[in-house]
Structure 1
């Protein structure tokens, strides 16, 4: 990326004039814009279009330059970045000796700078650390446009920056790359770059709290084993029902039973959360019963966190089956962390029976603890995907596979 070219007034004006146009068409018309580096400008246009709803505050600044489109696609959203910044700040002030002090944070895997920018809204000082010079140059330029004057940019590897620190910081944050040195995709934290597991002793020496962001595909209990008993808390963060990231808070003290929190950030700024410990989940003994008036489907964050029995206890629900992670009750509970449905009918799993209830042959199919996979069952039933009904395929308390026709509340 040529920052100097993209900063030119004529290029900035061209980007504004063509903001809503099709990038591929503009590439074909490159000869019409002899004074514009069209390939660079079109790539910037693509990235800005991807960022419009994901990074609205960055998009609102015309002078902000985006990294390549793929980087924007893979980046956190502003919503999750802001939630994370507030969470980290809150935990730091809750546990620190000087609870009013905003403190200093180092983002050791700076990347495009989104997380550093969010942290800079709540911390006194943020150190942005990134080993790729092109990214540090882009981040430094964007921090200036966004008026993030409390961010200091460092071109360095995480381990080198830590070794140079004279005084420990309040918080160290890492989002390790999920690729190894050969650019192959990896899942284990010890295989990521940087290797957080190997780096952990140095991290705890240089920071009072260490926060690690990880892929939603990561096995939580496996990661806790990798990181040891210094994990204090795990947050499973979902945005509008889709798990986006896992956050691990690590401190020097031992914690054999960390706090696990499932969070869902809603479209209108609302937030659902459910906190528990695995010791509670393992000893919970919920009631099991047949379907009642309402069906409760736990959110993706709750399922990823591994809270399968406790929601029934906390909300006075019954499970449909010990291994069917669906709940039922005679009453409507508006604060359940997931989706709520009104049960309309129990249906046998055959096409003829279903056609009488769904003459249009359309419903959203959800399969939980059922003998057939979703695609096989959908084909068997001749079912098309569509509103307004939902069809849950599950196993009931008496061991029978059953279809539950529902409408969402």
Structure 2
């Protein structure tokens, strides 16, 4: 009799999903593996995976950050998990804390904070709160498909606007156009800015990497509409993946500038924890001829490993190849006029929300 390990089924892509498997999270005591037992023929016979939405019961919505690698100190994430299904997403390991897989569970078993707008107003009104820009939807996209019916991001924006609190947004979704009116009003007072993530201009590659995100052309169109509405908008070439999309760096920046972007940034591919085997699996499934080349270049940038978590290195890498990408980015962003950055957000307009314990004034106003 054959050992079950000899009968393991090689995961195949699931339609509309980024990863092919549901690898066990690092905190679980047991692991599982699909094997051919004669009853199930293949992954192709499985029904499509549907997205479910649960409730996140976190008591606070503002997360603090002390990383020197990013420009914000606090963020709000309306959702846990992301239906975009980006195979490379650095946030996938967070699903392990929920006892779920960073693989398909991350894309299909989502959680939201329905009371997040009320909690946000409470936190902004706490004594001692110091206003600094809030990054909206950093771990997972605030404008992922489920937002279309839930509208949680829109309600959070309305709270921030009501109290004149500055916000920055990173997204790869054209759904942000729904909120042009409120974002334009905020931008007119220096309270809003947006970065659109454009990973590639190749729609076929984008469909494989980011199956439920907007197409590259649609993201460029969203940049144009944001800019036309007076909203400062930049482009993020992120992630930069060696031997896969790195050759597009200059083209992406030029296309974004032509659409109306006025700043640019880039982030090198990050493979923390469970992301490494999931993305390796994706490479071997979608671009098997390039898989080892991609991983080899990553190892050259991280001292022989595919990833280093140290500040200052994790988002850029080091060594000759990383230096080459950095130099190309500097030259391209300067040539396209994208090297000046977006104007700083204005914290001076912040209005402290009313507190329940505050005394009414003499006239009850």
TM tier relative to shorter chain: 0.3 to 0.5
TM-score normalised by the chain length of structure 1:
0.31
Q: Name the structure, 1 or 2, with higher relative contact order (CA <8 Å, separation 6+).
A: 2
Higher strand share: 1
Larger Rg: 1
